Amino acid sequence: MRTTFPRLMLEHAARRPDAPALREKEFGIWQSLSWSALAVLVRELACGLAEAGLKRGEHIVVVAENRPRLSAVMLAAQSLGAVPVPLYQDAAANEYVFPINNAEIAMAVVEDQEQVDKMLELRESCPQIARIWFDDPRGLRKYDEPGLAALDALVEAGRRYNSANPKFFDEQVALGEPDDVAAMFFTSGTTGNPKGVVHTHFSLIDRAKAGADFDKLGENEEVLAYLPPAWIGQNIFSYAQWLVCGYVVNCPESSSTVNIDLKEIGPTYYFAPPRVFEGMLTTVMIRMEDAGALKKWLFQRFMAVARKVGPALMDGKSVGAMDKLAYALGNLCIYGPLRNSLGLSRVRVAYTAGEAIGPDLFTFYRSIGINLKQLYGSTETAVFVCLQPDNEAKADTVGVPIAGVEVKLADSGEILIKSPGLLKEYYKNPAATAEVLSADGWYHTGDAGFLDAGGHLKIIDRAKDVGRIVGGANDGAMFAPKYVENKLKFFPFVKEAVAFGDKREKVCAFINIDMEAVGNWAEKRNLAYAGYTDLAQKPEVYQMVLECIEKVNADLAADPMLAGSQVSRFLILHKELDADDGELTRTRKVKRGHISQRYQTLVDAMYGGKANQYIETEVSFEDGRKGMVAADLKIMDAKVFDAVKQAA
What CATH number corresponds to the domain at position 404?
Answer: 2.30.38.10
Radius of gyration of the chain (CA): 25
When pLDDT is cut at 50, 70 and 90, the band that residue 648 belongs to is very low
Same domain? For 473 and 414 the reply is no
Q: What is the pTM of this model?
A: 0.83
Same domain? For 550 and 447 the reply is no
- Judge whether residue 647 has pLDDT over 50: no
Task: Report the pLDDT averaged over residues 269-278.
Answer: 90
Task: Report the pLDDT averaged over residues 350-373.
Answer: 88
pLDDT tens, residue by residue, 2-58: 999 999 999 999 999 999 999 999 888 999 999 999 999 999 999 999 999 999 999
Interior/surface letters 243-252, b for 16+ CB within 10 angstroms, e for the rest: bbbbbbbbbb
Interior/surface letters 523-542, b for 16+ CB within 10 angstroms, e for the rest: eeeeeebeebbebbbbeebb
Nearest to 307 by CA among 330, 278, 291: 330
Same domain? For 234 and 249 the reply is yes
Same domain? For 34 and 136 the reply is yes
Residue finishing a domain among 464, 486, 505: 464
141 within domain boundaries:
yes
Q: How far apart are CA 47 and CA 53, in angstroms?
A: 10
Task: Report the pLDDT averaged over residues 598-627.
Answer: 90
446 within domain boundaries:
yes
Same domain? For 238 and 114 the reply is yes
Question: What is the residue range of 632's domain?
Answer: 467-637
473 within domain boundaries:
yes
Q: How far apart are CA 253 and CA 260, in angstroms?
A: 10
408 within domain boundaries:
yes
Hey, which residues does 148 pair with through a beta bridge? 132
Q: Count CA within 13 A, CB hemisphere, residue 116.
A: 24
Same domain? For 557 and 520 the reply is yes
Same domain? For 476 and 390 the reply is no
Output the domain CATH number for residue 589.
Answer: 3.30.300.30
When pLDDT is cut at 50, 70 and 90, the band that residue 290 belongs to is confident
Task: Report the pLDDT averaged over residues 456-469.
Answer: 81
Task: Report the pLDDT averaged over residues 253-280.
Answer: 92
User: Counting every residue, how long is the chain?
Assistant: 648
237 within domain boundaries:
yes
pLDDT computed for residue 584 by the predictor: 87
pLDDT computed for residue 449 by the predictor: 83
Give the phi and the psi of residue 313 in degrees, each rounded to 5: -65, -40
Q: Contact 463/409 with Cβ under 8 angstroms?
A: no
- Helix-helix angle 151-164:168-175, to 10 degrees: 100
Residue finishing a domain among 219, 253, 271: 271
Nearest to 363 by CA among 441, 304, 422: 304
Sequence-separated (6 or more) residues with CB below 8 Å from residue 568: 506, 507, 508, 637, 638, 640
Same domain? For 85 and 220 the reply is yes
Output the domain CATH number for residue 259.
Answer: 3.40.50.980
Same domain? For 459 and 551 the reply is no
Residue finishing a domain among 216, 241, 271: 271
339 within domain boundaries:
no
Q: Which is more confident, 315 or 240?
A: 240
Nearest to 270 by CA among 206, 336, 346, 365: 346
Task: Report the pLDDT averaged over residues 249-277.
Answer: 93
Q: Contact 492/518 with Cβ under 8 angstroms?
A: no
Q: Contact 631/602 with Cβ under 8 angstroms?
A: no
291 within domain boundaries:
no
- Judge whether residue 303 has pLDDT over 80: yes
When pLDDT is cut at 50, 70 and 90, the band that residue 278 belongs to is confident
How many domains does the structure of the chain reveal? 3
Nearest to 352 by CA among 331, 370, 334: 370
Same domain? For 543 and 497 the reply is yes
Sequence-separated (6 or more) residues with CB below 8 Å from residue 433: 423, 425, 426
DSSP state of 129: -
Q: How far apart are CA 494 and CA 275, in angstroms?
A: 11
Q: Which is more confident, 492 or 610?
A: 610
- Judge whether residue 577 has pLDDT over 90: yes
Same domain? For 82 and 140 the reply is yes
When pLDDT is cut at 50, 70 and 90, the band that residue 314 belongs to is very high
Same domain? For 66 and 210 the reply is yes
646 within domain boundaries:
no
